[in-house]
Chain A
Amino acid sequence: MSGHRGTEVRIAGFGGQGVILSGMILGRAVSIFENKHATLMQSFGPEARGGACSAQVILSDEKILYPYVKAPDVLVVMSQPALRTYLPTLREGGKLIYEQDLVKLEEGDELPEGATCYGVPATKIAEGLRRRIVLNIVMVGFISAVAPMVSMESARKAVLHSVPRGTEALNGRAFDMGYRYGVENYGGES
């Protein structure tokens, strides 16, 4: 997506939403299951639970020399403040992925030229599974459908290898539901 630097991804939201775990799963999918390169940088505000939290992930075929994301190809936001903070950084032609019940695109939220938007009711899907905590895994499934940076199989495997033992089955289902929502509503990769 962004030439020799690989693909830059920023995932942002509130602390406690599983933002870092989402980034870790994407990185793990690329580095362990596709034998490529990935970096993850994380940042969080000084606030306690509920504060701002963001993961910067770079995925590349080549070694990554600079791990910070400046202009993401894919921006995933799970809170309104995260949209406000990071939307101006989205690269032209990039993809904005958002949790549609937590984030509202408003007048004045200008998308860069050629950028596309993908909304998913990840919280509702997770609540349908009776575990709100799998919201981030629904998001990873959705990302895999609308902005595939790794194969769906690698992403799913990375999910199952990243969650506590015994929670694999439900997390796998959360991933599948997010993925299916992406395919059914956006036809998968656009």
Chain B
Amino acid sequence: MKFGMYQGFMGQYPDRRVLNNDVEVIIRPLIPEDEDKLLSFYRSLPPETRLRLRQDNTNRKILQRFLEEIPLGRMVTMGAFAPDEETLVGECSLRIMHHGWARHVGELKYSLEPKWSPTGLGGILIMELVEVASSQGLDKLVYQVLDDQVRLKKMLQEMGFVQEAILRDHATDLSGKKHDVYIMSNYMAELWRKMEDMIMYQEFPPLP
């Protein structure tokens, strides 16, 4: 793999995961050569899902610009493939700035075929990139959630994200409807420090 940012974790992939419905999927980072698979994936999404895409990746040119970020080291994209190993059923992307005052912050987003939603695949993809982000030394992750993405918001909260801000009428979906955007943040280092503190407190309680 020629992309610097991928080198630290590429050895672990492809990885097979068994979902809640006992179906096995293959998880691996995506590269620009996966363009056609990604395009088919985005175009297969139902209109109600496509409405909420941050950008219209069903357009090949827009998708190409999105994929150009990978070799530049500004993005890691993890894909989930159906058991046939060819059909992409979900993707999750982590964008990293590397410079400027937000160089310690990564931004996540993901898309999934709705029928895979109840299988826990979304959580698996996000968690995968949370760990990649952690291994890249990022301290904080953000995710922009639209006001009607209630399940997504709940899932993020279960993964340690907290609501940090609301931007009123900040997003216009593909139908032209305005949405509030919730900024969900995950302070990764703090989260795991809590677990360490809990263990230390249990095993070395303060003297009475």
Residues of A within 8 A of B (CB): 15-21, 24, 42, 44, 48-49, 53, 128-131, 133, 136, 163-170, 173
- Asked whether, in the complex, the Cβ of A163 is within 8 Å of the Cβ of B131, the reply is no
> How far, in angstroms, from A173 to B131 measured CA to CA in the complex?
12
- Asked whether, in the complex, the Cβ of A130 is within 8 Å of the Cβ of B131, the reply is yes
> How far, in angstroms, from A129 to B131 measured CA to CA in the complex?
8
Least CB distance from A57 to B in Å reads 14
Least CB distance from A124 to B in Å reads 13
- Contact among A128, A129, A130, A164 for B191, CB-based, below 8 A: A164
Q: Chain B: how many interface residues by the 8 Å CB criterion?
A: 23
- Asked whether, in the complex, the Cβ of B123 is within 8 Å of the Cβ of A167, the reply is no
Interface of B is mostly: helix
B199 at the interface (CB under 8 A from A): yes
B41 at the interface (CB under 8 A from A): no
B101 at the interface (CB under 8 A from A): no
Write out the residue numbers on chain A whose beta carbons fall within 8 Å of the beta carbon of B196.
133
- Asked whether, in the complex, the Cβ of B127 is within 8 Å of the Cβ of A166, the reply is no
> How far, in angstroms, from A164 to B186 measured CA to CA in the complex?
13
Write out the residue numbers on chain B whose beta carbons fall within 8 Å of the beta carbon of A42.
202-203
B2 at the interface (CB under 8 A from A): no
Given A16-B199, A49-B200, CB of A131 within 8 Å of CB of B159: no
B6 at the interface (CB under 8 A from A): no
Extra A-B contacts (18), CB below 8 Å, given A130-B134, A131-B192, A133-B195 = A16-B203, A18-B203, A19-B203, A20-B199, A44-B204, A49-B204, A133-B199, A163-B195, A163-B198, A164-B191, A166-B158, A166-B160, A167-B160, A167-B191, A168-B158, A168-B159, A169-B127, A173-B127
Which 10 residue pairs across A and B have the least CB separation, nearest first? A166-B160, A164-B194, A20-B202, A15-B203, A166-B191, A18-B199, A169-B127, A169-B159, A53-B203, A164-B195
Write out the residue numbers on chain A whose beta carbons fall within 8 Å of the beta carbon of B42.
none
Interface centre among B127, B186, B202 (most CB of A within 10 A): B202
- Asked whether, in the complex, the Cβ of A21 is within 8 Å of the Cβ of B158, the reply is no
Write out the residue numbers on chain B whose beta carbons fall within 8 Å of the beta carbon of A169.
123, 127, 158-159
